[in-house]
């Protein structure tokens, strides 16, 4: 993986590499099919998957970004484990913020799994602040609900 690096929307040919990156980064769960999540995101017209590519085409970082017409959100933010510490996480987040700003979105939300202090600190360094909120969910398709943890 060599520079210079570029960022932009994922191509269909890059789908397997992005899913593999998310798996290598430990972001996927058995009850979520990342390829299905990507297809759903892109079909909405309000989201996309952004990738950061090395000069040789290798994907070093990726994220899913979208908005609901009021605020933006990012999911599946990942950096290739072999390329961590080189600024790729910061760069893919900057690309996501630019994507949202280009669409007039003025606020960005994200979720961090409890206990993942390293990721929480990463986002704090980017200017994110933890908020006192209660996250709630309701499964509209009970067949997709994961087993209790």
> What value does the mean pLDDT take over residues 92-120?
94
Each domain of the chain, given as residue ranges in start order, spans 6-144
* 75 pLDDT more than 70: yes
Q: Which two tokens stand for residue 37?
A: 């999540």
Decide which of 3.90.226.10, 1.10.1040.10, 3.20.20.80, 3.40.630.30 is the CATH code for 6-144: 3.40.630.30
pLDDT tens-digit profile of 10-33?
Answer: 999 999 999 999 999 999 988 889
91 near 61, Cβ under 8 Å? Answer: yes
- Is 60 exceeded by the pLDDT of residue 59? yes
């Amino acid at each position: 993986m060599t520079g210079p690096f570029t960022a932009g929307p994922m191509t269909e040919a890059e789908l397997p590499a992005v899913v593999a990156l998310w798996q290598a980064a430990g972001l996927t769960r058995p009850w979520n099919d990342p390829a299905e999540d990507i297809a759903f995101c892109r079909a909405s017209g309000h989201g996309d998957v952004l990738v950061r590519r090395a000069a040789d085409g290798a994907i070093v970082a990726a994220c899913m970004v979208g908005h609901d017409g009021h605020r933006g959100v990012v999911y599946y933010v990942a950096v290739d484990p072999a390329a961590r510490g080189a600024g790729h996480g910061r760069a893919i987040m900057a690309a996501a913020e630019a994507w949202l700003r280009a669409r007039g979105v003025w606020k960005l939300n994200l979720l961090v799994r409890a206990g993942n202090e390293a990721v929480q600190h990463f986002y704090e360094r980017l200017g994110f602040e933890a908020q006192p909120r209660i996250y709630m969910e309701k499964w509209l398709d009970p067949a997709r609900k994961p087993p209790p943890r």
